[in-house]
Amino acid sequence: MTRAAPVRQAPTSRPPAPPPQQWTRDRVEDVLFGVLGWVVIAVLVAVTLLPFYYMVILSVRSLDEVILRPGALWPDSFDLSTYVSVLASPDDGGQGFLLFLRNSAVIAVLTVVVTLLAAIPGAYAISRLQFAGRRQVSTLFLAVYLFPAILLAVPLFVFFSAVGLRGSLVGLLVVYVAQTVPISIYLLRNYFETVPVSLEEAAAVDGASRWTILTRISLPLAMPAVVSNALYVFMIAWNEFLFALLFLAEDRERWTVSLGLSQLAGSIEIPTTVLMAGSVLLTLPIVVLFFLAERLLVEGLTSGAEKG
C-alpha cells in the first residue's frame, strides 16, 4: 500500500504594507495647532508663574546676594529672616504684618458672610418671585459699578466722619458690603435660574415652605456658584486699598495688609527682600484658597453660563 505524499502548504504571503500616510491639509492643521496649543499653554504658564516665582525667590535671598546677583533664579542659601522681620511687631523691630493679616482676614471673612447673607435671599427672590420691575431691579444693581470708586470716596469719607465710623473696621465693612452685594445678587441670580423649577414645585406640593425650599434644595444645588462668589468677594475685600487708606490711615493698629504693603513700597529704607516678603504674604492666601476650591470654582463659573 503506497503512502500518500504529504501536501505541502504554500507559504503564506505577508500582508501588504500600509501605504504611507499622506500629509493632507487636515493632518497638517491638526499637528500644527496641537503643537501651537502646547506652546501657548507653556508661554501663559511661564508668564503667570515666573513673576510670582521670582518674588518668592527674592524674599528668601539675603540682601547681599540680591545686590551681587539680582537676576539669579535660585538662591545660594535660603534666608527666612525677612519673613520674621515682616511679621514681627514694630516694638520688636519688625513691620507688624501679623496684625495687618489678622485685620484683613477679619474684614474679608465678615464681608463674605454679610454679603452672602444678603445676596442669596435677594438673588433667589429675583430669580423665582414674580413682581413688577423684576428684570429692571436686577439690572439696576449693576448701576453701582457705573461710578468709579474715587467718586464715592469723598462723600463716604465725609459721611463716615460725621457719624463717627471713620477709623473703624466696622465702617470699612459697611463700604465693602455695599460694593459687593449688588454684583453678588446679579451673579447668583443666574445660577439660581439654572435650578429646575420642577424640584421646587415637588417640594412645595409636599408642604415645604419657601425658606425650606431655598435652604434644602436650591442652595445645595447652587453651592459651587456660592463658593465662587465667596472667593470673588473675599479677593475684593482682601486686596482693596483706596477705602482702607481713607478710613484707616490714621490708626496703624487697624491697618489692613494692603496698607502695610504700600508703606513698605513707599519707603526707601526698606530692603527689596522685605518688600517681596510682604508681597508674598499678601498674595499667598488668595492663591491657597483658589487651589483648595478649584473644583467648585470652575463649576460655579460655568453653571450659569447659558442663562442670564
| 29/147 same-domain check | no
Q: 95-111, pLDDT tens digit by residue?
A: 888 889 999 999 999 99
Cell of residue 38, nine digits? 502646547
| 70/117 same-domain check | no
Q: Provide the pLDDT for residue 18.
A: 56
Count structural domains, the chain.
2
182-208 per-residue burial string, b: 16 or more CB within 10 A, e: under 16: bbbbbbbbbbbbebeeeebeebeeeeb
**pTM for this prediction:** 0.78
Q: 164-209, pLDDT tens digit by residue?
A: 878 788 888 988 998 888 888 888 888 888 888 888 888 888 888 8
Query: Residue 163's domain spans which residues?
Result: 86-303
Examine residue 15 and state whether it is found in any structural domain, yes or no: no
Tell whether the model's pLDDT for residue 36 goes beyond 80.
yes
| 171/70 same-domain check | no
Question: Is 195:226 a contact under the CB 8 Å cutoff?
Answer: no
| 169/38 same-domain check | no
